[in-house]
Chains A and B, each alone.
Chain A
Amino acid sequence: MDKKIVVFKLGNQLWGIDLKYIREVVRVKQYTKVPSATDHVLGVFNLRGQIVPLLDISRILNVERDSSETAIILNYNDEAVGFSVDSVVGVISISDKEVLPPPTEAGDYVKSVVRRGKELISVLDTARVLEVIEHAGIT
């Protein structure tokens, strides 16, 4: 069965998140830093009157990146959470046969890998990423 993923760029690599988690993509012009929160938390911002945390997953995924204004808003436990990403490439449909198992060096957070032309897209284990960040947040 075909599955849709949102493809985005983070630190010169392509990543994918299952579309079912995603609420929208927004530009975050300004956010407020949260002192004493963990490194993954860039801060909080105002999304139409709602306070949404903005997370930098590059530190978990261990990639280097510059800051950007683009953020993907995900649903997590009925709350909105923002992932700061370099840019959003688009939405693609993938069939089961395109999905390769992750190489062992990809780490715990990559569920699978999809090849498109020359590019490899690492599809995130989104629930796992969010869980790790949430528990890291408790100090």
Chain B
Amino acid sequence: MAESIDKEYLELFLEEAREYLSRLSELLPKLEKEHENKEIVNEAFRLVHSLKGNAAMLNLENISSLAHAVEDLLALIREGETELSKKAMKLLFKALDALNDLVNIVEERHSDKELNVTELIEELRSIIKHEKGKEEATPSMSEKAREALDFLRKMATSDKKGKEVIDAMTTVSRSFDKISNSAKAKDKRKEVREDELFKLNDIERNKAIDALAHGLQLYQIALEFKETPMLTLRYFIALQKIGELGEIIKTIPSGAEISEIKTQRILILAAIRKLEELDDAIKEIPDLESYDARKISLDTLGIKENEIKRTSKTALDKVTEIEDLLKKVEEKEAEIKSILLEEQQQSQKLGEVRVNVKSLDTLFNLVGELVLVKSRLAAIISKYDIPNIKETLGTFERLVSELQDEVMRMRLVPLQYVYKTIPKYVAELTEKYSKEVDVYFEGGEISLDRKVLEDLAGPLFNLIEILIRDDIENSEERVRKRKPSVGTIRLAASREGNHVILSIESDGKGIDAEEVKRRAVELGLVPASTVKKMSGEEALMLTTLPGFLLKNGALAGLDSVKKSIEALGGTLEIYSKVDVETRFILKIPVSMATLRALLVKLGNTPYAIPVTSVVTTIKLVDKGNVGEADVVKYQDKILSIYDLTRLLGINGSLNKKYAVIVEKRGKLVALAVNEILGQEDIVVKPLSKMLARTKGLAGATIRGDGKVCLILDPLSLVP
């Protein structure tokens, strides 16, 4: 069977499976910390559930049964029937590893038979059995949600805010249905009951009435799909296409059931404007065998004509009540958001195309060659005076450089991709070295070229291991030192011109510069006379000499970290304070990195300001003076206003209407600008060395119109 897997589906499966597993490897460590966080459990559950479904479709039995067992364990956790025991957590991690292995095997062999996971499944099953017996069932989230929903349904009427409430409720209801149905339908497959299409619940009914009030017509649409493993996806495409025409009232099977039921026939009750529009939309749905649409009368649905008019009227007396309800709905919504996310992603994917990394690299290289050819061509053409060719060449050059920018942009990957693999790694290390550590991340949105990021991951992981192994004390020792029993590792990234500064710090025992000096001399790495004159910071750099390690073996391996970072064109600095902190600072060049920037106008010239240095933007209304200085009120603070034009040493009108608020040394200041243009992702280009040291400039970028736009470093300008 497995050999006959269609290659296209297999690739789709592998891609999705990797995505699910990568997300799971982020979620599990979080789950370990926040047992009670339902959002995490829910998301993990949905991921495993989808993986199971996809694997079953391709007859990958090992994956699907392992995923099934994991799903059952997560279901127990989700229903609040068990707290996570250490053992259960460990098993979850183990299962995740096994799933990763299985997926890799599938890629190579197109089958998952090579790896036996029966034992692991047994283990999972036995813990499920054990946990189930151990605890009394508490009121589940589904029950609580059900109560809230019933309450909401009673309250929702034909109010002014009725539509909003109904929409919000529909969202809640849909997600809720998904949760309860997928749990219920886990073992018993449901039958499709087509006659249920017209039995509307209150929400669906209100939706229908609302659509009718807006002049839409109700249709029953029956879709018959060809046999395809991508039925779920097709289903969502259909819903999206038809949804664009008006409103989907109800479907059989429901969104929650579709992945369980796998029926090729789908019934949709939708409100649309015109039947002709539907024909066009239907054409865009792939793998459709046939379809049929017929108009539905109000009677069929038990809706009366006078109900439709009522919806457009308002009843103000219930507004406050409704508002309270909305708040509740929002709370519920947030709880359930993560589950919905998956569905959204599925429909959003339609606007994106997955690109193989290899194709991207090829494209990148081809563009590089194209740029070279272009320059040669330009050089040749410039020798001859051929009419019109210069303009054409100009256009060609512009196109090539745009193409190059675009491809570079495609290669950028946010640091988050490396960040998200760290928690799992830290979990392994803390177990290995018996330490307790919390990890915090900042600056995950900062993008680096894919290759740079790839090469950075190794040294980064080494540094984290060194910190956990050698710096963070074990809990008892930390308590003795009156430190929090759990250690902290903090990773923070920021942009500085054409570099990313990445700092990795921990609050462990620190490095004693004197000890390092003595040890370096002892190991014969440096003469004693040299060491004497060294400052503390210089001494810490001795730890990066090949062969350096402390007496207890600590700090070994820093030399290779330093080498890898230097190979990237970066630098490594080490700071430490005994018993306070150890901090590694990496400076990595990213000449191709993009930056999210706020564009402002000074006079008529646009300038870019990295959003990382912007707190917010305001309109200068509450202006005043304190002595000589202009000030503005922001929230309840009084901020000094500096004219950004003046700070840059250009003349310009002083009467600016807007300000960018930045924070320098913990103090907020307002920088007045003429206009705020909005945010953009820009490709940072290096300024010529000749200008690199000009005050207040961080670089430059080329905007869509071909003009150079300077990137400001506003903090260096604030006095």
Q: Which residues of A contact B (CB under 8 A)?
A: 24-25, 30-37, 41, 43-46, 48-53, 76-77, 79-81, 133-134, 137-139
Q: Choose one: A25, A52, A137; the contact of B693 (CB below 8 Å).
A: A137
Q: A44-B708, A48-B401, A49-B404 are in contact. Are A36 and B690 (CB under 8 A)?
A: no
Q: A36-B649, A46-B707 are in contact. Are A81 and B686 (CB under 8 A)?
A: no
Q: Choose one: B397, B650, B686, B695; the contact of A48 (CB below 8 Å).
A: B397
Question: When the two chains form their complex, are residues B691 and A137 in contact, meaning their CB atoms are under 8 A apart?
Answer: yes
The 6 closest A-B pairs by CB, nearest first: A49-B401, A35-B648, A32-B708, A53-B688, A35-B650, A51-B700
Question: B120 within 8 Å of A by Cβ?
Answer: no
Question: B706 within 8 Å of A by Cβ?
Answer: yes
Q: How many residues of B contact A (CB 8 A)?
A: 35
Question: When the two chains form their complex, are residues B688 and A51 in contact, meaning their CB atoms are under 8 A apart?
Answer: yes
Question: B350 within 8 Å of A by Cβ?
Answer: no
Task: Report A50 CB to chain B, min CB distance, Å.
Answer: 7
Question: B694 within 8 Å of A by Cβ?
Answer: yes
CA of A81 to CA of B687, assembled, Å: 11
Chain B residues whose C-beta falls within 8 Å of the C-beta of A80 in the assembled complex: 688
The chain B residue sitting closest to A30, CB to CB, is B707
CA of A30 to CA of B606, assembled, Å: 14
Q: Choose one: B379, B382, B605; the contact of A32 (CB below 8 Å).
A: B605
CA of A52 to CA of B689, assembled, Å: 10
Question: B696 within 8 Å of A by Cβ?
Answer: yes
The chain B residue sitting closest to A138, CB to CB, is B693
Question: B702 within 8 Å of A by Cβ?
Answer: yes
Chain A residues whose C-beta falls within 8 Å of the C-beta of B397 in the assembled complex: 48
Question: When the two chains form their complex, are residues A35 and B696 in contact, meaning their CB atoms are under 8 A apart?
Answer: yes
Q: A30-B707, A35-B649 are in contact. Are A44 and B687 (CB under 8 A)?
A: yes
Given contacts A32-B708, A46-B707, 15 further A-B contacts (CB under 8 A): A24-B379, A25-B382, A30-B706, A34-B691, A34-B710, A35-B648, A35-B696, A36-B697, A37-B694, A44-B691, A48-B374, A48-B400, A80-B688, A134-B689, A137-B691
Question: When the two chains form their complex, are residues A45 and B708 in contact, meaning their CB atoms are under 8 A apart?
Answer: yes
Question: When the two chains form their complex, are residues A51 and B695 in contact, meaning their CB atoms are under 8 A apart?
Answer: no
Chain B residues whose C-beta falls within 8 Å of the C-beta of A76 in the assembled complex: 690
Question: When the two chains form their complex, are residues B688 and A36 in contact, meaning their CB atoms are under 8 A apart?
Answer: no
Task: Jot down 22 A-B pairs with beta carbons below 8 A, ordered by A.
Answer: A24-B382, A33-B650, A34-B694, A35-B650, A37-B691, A37-B694, A44-B708, A44-B710, A45-B708, A48-B401, A49-B405, A49-B685, A51-B686, A51-B688, A51-B708, A52-B688, A53-B690, A76-B690, A79-B688, A79-B689, A133-B690, A137-B690
CA of A44 to CA of B382, assembled, Å: 23
Q: Choose one: B398, B605, B648, B691; the contact of A53 (CB below 8 Å).
A: B691
CA of A79 to CA of B685, assembled, Å: 13
CA of A43 to CA of B401, assembled, Å: 21
Chain A residues whose C-beta falls within 8 Å of the C-beta of B689 in the assembled complex: 77, 79, 134
Task: Report B521 CB to chain A, min CB distance, Å.
Answer: 40
CA of A31 to CA of B690, assembled, Å: 16
Interface string of B399-424 (1 = CB under 8 A from A): 01100110000000000000000000
List B367-402 residues whose CB lies under 8 Å from chain A.
371, 374-375, 378-379, 382, 397-398, 400-401
Chain B residues whose C-beta falls within 8 Å of the C-beta of A43 in the assembled complex: 708
Chain A residues whose C-beta falls within 8 Å of the C-beta of B400 in the assembled complex: 48-49
Chain A residues whose C-beta falls within 8 Å of the C-beta of B398 in the assembled complex: 48
Q: Which residues of B contact A (CB under 8 A)?
A: 371, 374-375, 378-379, 382, 397-398, 400-401, 404-405, 605, 648-650, 685-691, 693-697, 700, 702, 706-710
Question: When the two chains form their complex, are residues B690 and A79 in contact, meaning their CB atoms are under 8 A apart?
Answer: yes
The chain B residue sitting closest to A43, CB to CB, is B708
Q: Choose one: B371, B378, B700; the contact of A44 (CB below 8 Å).
A: B700
Question: When the two chains form their complex, are residues A51 and B685 in contact, meaning their CB atoms are under 8 A apart?
Answer: yes
CA of A45 to CA of B371, assembled, Å: 18
Question: When the two chains form their complex, are residues A46 and B690 in contact, meaning their CB atoms are under 8 A apart?
Answer: no
Chain A residues whose C-beta falls within 8 Å of the C-beta of B375 in the assembled complex: 48
Task: Report A82 CB to chain B, min CB distance, Å.
Answer: 10
Chain B residues whose C-beta falls within 8 Å of the C-beta of A79 in the assembled complex: 688-690
Question: When the two chains form their complex, are residues B706 and A46 in contact, meaning their CB atoms are under 8 A apart?
Answer: yes
Chain B residues whose C-beta falls within 8 Å of the C-beta of A133 in the assembled complex: 690
Question: When the two chains form their complex, are residues B702 and A41 in contact, meaning their CB atoms are under 8 A apart?
Answer: no
CA of A25 to CA of B696, assembled, Å: 31
The chain A residue sitting closest to B375, CB to CB, is A48
Q: A49-B404, A51-B700 are in contact. Are A32 and B710 (CB under 8 A)?
A: yes
CA of A53 to CA of B697, assembled, Å: 14
Task: Report A110 CB to chain B, min CB distance, Å.
Answer: 22
Task: Report B443 CB to chain A, min CB distance, Å.
Answer: 25
Chain A residues whose C-beta falls within 8 Å of the C-beta of B707 in the assembled complex: 30, 32, 46
The chain B residue sitting closest to A23, CB to CB, is B379
Chain B residues whose C-beta falls within 8 Å of the C-beta of A34 in the assembled complex: 691, 694, 697, 710
Chain A residues whose C-beta falls within 8 Å of the C-beta of B649 in the assembled complex: 35-36
Task: Report B642 CB to chain A, min CB distance, Å.
Answer: 14
Task: Report B96 CB to chain A, min CB distance, Å.
Answer: 44
Task: Report A127 CB to chain B, min CB distance, Å.
Answer: 14
CA of A73 to CA of B690, assembled, Å: 14
Chain A residues whose C-beta falls within 8 Å of the C-beta of B691 in the assembled complex: 34, 37, 41, 44, 53, 137
Chain B residues whose C-beta falls within 8 Å of the C-beta of A46 in the assembled complex: 702, 706-708
